[in-house]
Amino acid sequence: MLRVMIVGQPGSGKSTLARKLGQLTGLPIIHIDTIHWQPGWVERSWGEKTHLCREIEARERWIFEGGHSATWDNRVARADLLIWIDRSATLRFWRVVLRTLLQRGRSRPDLPENCPELLANLPEFFRFMWRTKKSARAKMQQLVATAPSTCRVVCLRSNRDTRVFLASIGNLTDQAPRD
C-alpha cells in the first residue's frame, strides 16, 4: 500500500483516520484543508488547489484525505486504496460542534497556521454542510462505484468498522517490511 485516498463529508473523521493510518503505515499525510486554505483563512483559487493536488498525486507515497473533487479521477486512478467514511449527518454536525469547542481559538493539526476554530464560523459552515449533504454523498457513491479494479475500496460506516479496519492494517504492517 503506497497511496491511500480518503473521502467523506465534513465531520466524518477523515483527518483522524488519516493520522492513525499514517502512524500505522509511515505514509506521509496530506490534508486537503492545507491545500484549500492559506494562513488566516484565505482560500486558494480553484486553479491553485488543482495544481497543488496534481503535484501531490504524482508522488509515490501518500495518504490524501479530503475533497477537491475536480482531481478525484486522477487521485483514484493512482490510489491503491480508497476509503469512504460514510457517517450520518447528525453525527457529523455534532463532531463539527465538538471539534470547534475543543479547538476554539487554535488551528487544528490538519489546517494551516493562523486558521483558528471560531464559533462565529459555525453557522456558515453548517449551511454549507446542509446544502451539500446529498450532492456530496452522491459524488462519493459515484466515485466508489467507478473506482478502478486496481484500487481496493473500503466503506466505513461506524466506529466499529473503523476499529476493525485499522486493526487489519496494523496486522498487515506487522508482517510487511517498511521502506
Domain range for 154: 3-88+134-175
Residue 164 falls inside a structural domain: yes
**For position 9, what pLDDT does the model report?**
96
Q: What is the CATH number of the domain that holds 15?
A: 3.40.50.300
- pTM summary value: 0.91
Q: Go through 88-109 and write b for each residue having 16 or more CB atoms within 10 A of its CB, e for each that does not.
A: eeeebbebbeebbeeeeeebbe
Residue 166 falls inside a structural domain: yes
CA distance readout (Å), 50 to 34, 36, 43, 47, 71: 13, 10, 13, 5, 7
Residue 128 falls inside a structural domain: no
Q: What is the number of structural domains in the chain? A: 1
Mean pLDDT for back-to-back runs of 10 residues, the chain (179 residues):
96 96 96 94 96 96 94 95 97 94 88 89 92 95 96 96 91 48
Residue 96 falls inside a structural domain: no
**For position 52, what pLDDT does the model report?**
96
Residue 118 falls inside a structural domain: no
Residue 104 falls inside a structural domain: no
Residue 127 falls inside a structural domain: no
Residue 159 falls inside a structural domain: yes
**For position 119, what pLDDT does the model report?**
87
**For position 106, what pLDDT does the model report?**
87
Calpha distance 151→73 (Å, rounded): 12
DSSP string, 100-113: HHHHBTSB-TTS-T
